[in-house]
Amino acid sequence: MLMNQCHRFDYKAVIALQGDQGLSYASKYKPYAIILDLRLPVIDGWTVLKRLKENEALKNIPVHIISSVDKSQLGLAMGATSYLHKPAGKQEMEELFRVIDPIHQEHKKLLVLGSENKEVNSIIEKLNQKNIEVKCAITLDECEELAKHNHYAGLILTTKQNNEDWLSKSAHFHQLKNIPALIFENNSDDFMLEIDNLISADPIKARERVLDAAGSFLNEVENGNKFSKEVNTKMENMLTGKTVLIVDDDMRNIYSLTNILEQEQIIVICAYDGIQAIDRLSENPQIDLILMDIMMPNMNGYEATQKIRKNPEWEHLPVIAVTAKAMNGDREKCIEAGASDYLTKPINADQLLSLMKVWMYK
């Protein structure tokens, strides 16, 4: 489906089946955009995103995430341009490629947030003369409803209060997250030029402009990267002092994992099968995450995860399933049992720590 969509918009598609391949191809081809799954072998999608945004030559390539992992706020904060939840249907894919390539839009549409007044009406009139359709909304909820049914090239914020509301709340509105915005200051030719730039430029630059214009509210955000830097700083120190339950019947695995975790100043609690895991959870409510081996005696990882999810207190506790071999259907079976994510042995320490940070991020 993705390749067909690329061809419809006259793009060449390069396919990478592993995270390390994706990074290699990004460096080699410098693509116009990257569509990224988060659950990838060798190097997971979170690590791929982080490395892309840390690479001076690649950091400005728009990254569009498509994943079943419900972590859109984190993905966008780490620098993704958009975040689409699986399963994605035809309509969602159409919207994604409209974000990737807004130039293909023949008829531009803009949203205006705020009450109409003389100056705003004058701007709307000028836009209509340019064959730009304008829809007005009083609240972000109304904007969200309009955006569900149409693609808008931009959002105009007409008051300081609208600006502050949008900056603080828009990330929680699924349809508004990726619409570039512009702050209305006065009815001038300069502002009309800003609008022309907004609807014709790529979404990354548009987002950088609005963040820069709202610098005082965001405490002088530089180039739209402050959120990403804050997230990275927070994630660097996130594991210190956390408590992790390792569930595995093989002492060699427990020793290896404990060695990795204790280097990050993580408190480790151990259990040797699913039954002990349930007991440890009851005795230690401070546990922040579980590393769950799948093949164990007495009660295996599937059964233990299912029992954990039946307890309302542990419903949202991150559980990363760990299995010895990547067999067909293993990943789906783990997720269906209630696991948050999935790793195969031998464990890559960087990938493990990256996944743990993602699932403990709040």
Give the model's confidence band at 102: pLDDT under 50 very low, under 70 low, under 90 confident, else very high.
Answer: low
pLDDT number for residue 219:
43
List Cβ neighbours of 261 (8 Å cut-off, separation of 6 or more): 239, 244, 246, 268
**pLDDT tens digits for range 23-69:** 999 999 999 899 999 888 888 888 899 899 888 889 888 899 988 88
Q: Give dist(CA 150, CA 143) in Å, integer.
A: 11
**Residue 211 pLDDT > 90:** no
Nearest to 31 by CA among 8, 7, 58: 58
The architecture in CATH of the region 105-232 reads 3-Layer(aba) Sandwich (3.40)
Q: At what angle do helices 45-54 and 349-360 cross, to 10 degrees?
A: 90
**For residue 207, what are the CA distances in angstroms to 19, 27, 216, 340?**
27, 24, 16, 31
Q: What is the mean pLDDT of residues 65-94?
A: 79
Amino acid found at 293:
D
> Class of 237-360 per CATH?
alpha beta
Domains 2-102 and 237-360 share a fold: yes
**Residue 106 pLDDT > 50:** no
Which pair of structure tokens corresponds to residue 26? 């990004």
Count Cβ atoms below 10 Å from residue 10 Cβ, excluding itself: 8
Torsional class of 338: left (φ above 0), alpha (ψ -120 to 50), beta (otherwise): left
Question: Which has more confidence, 99 or 263?
Answer: 263
Which of 32-36, 63-67, 85-89, 293-297 comes out lowest in average pLDDT? 85-89
Which pair of structure tokens corresponds to residue 63? 């990254």
- The answer to whether 305 and 333 have CB atoms below 8 angstroms apart is no
**pLDDT tens digits for range 112-128:** 887 767 777 887 888 88
- The answer to whether 289 and 261 have CB atoms below 8 angstroms apart is no
pLDDT number for residue 35:
92
Amino acid found at 193:
L
**pLDDT tens digits for range 341-355:** 888 877 888 888 888
Beta strands in the chain (DSSP E): 34-36, 63-67, 82-85, 109-113, 133-137, 154-157, 181-183, 243-247, 267-271, 289-293, 319-323, 341-344
Which pair of structure tokens corresponds to residue 197? 């730039």
**pLDDT tens digits for range 119-152:** 778 878 888 877 788 888 888 888 888 877 776 7
Per CATH, which fold does 2-102 belong to?
A: Rossmann fold (3.40.50)
**Residue 217 pLDDT > 60:** no
- The answer to whether 307 and 282 have CB atoms below 8 angstroms apart is no
Domain ranges of the chain: 2-102, 105-232, 237-360
**For residue 15, what are the CA distances in angstroms to 25, 50, 328?**
9, 20, 21
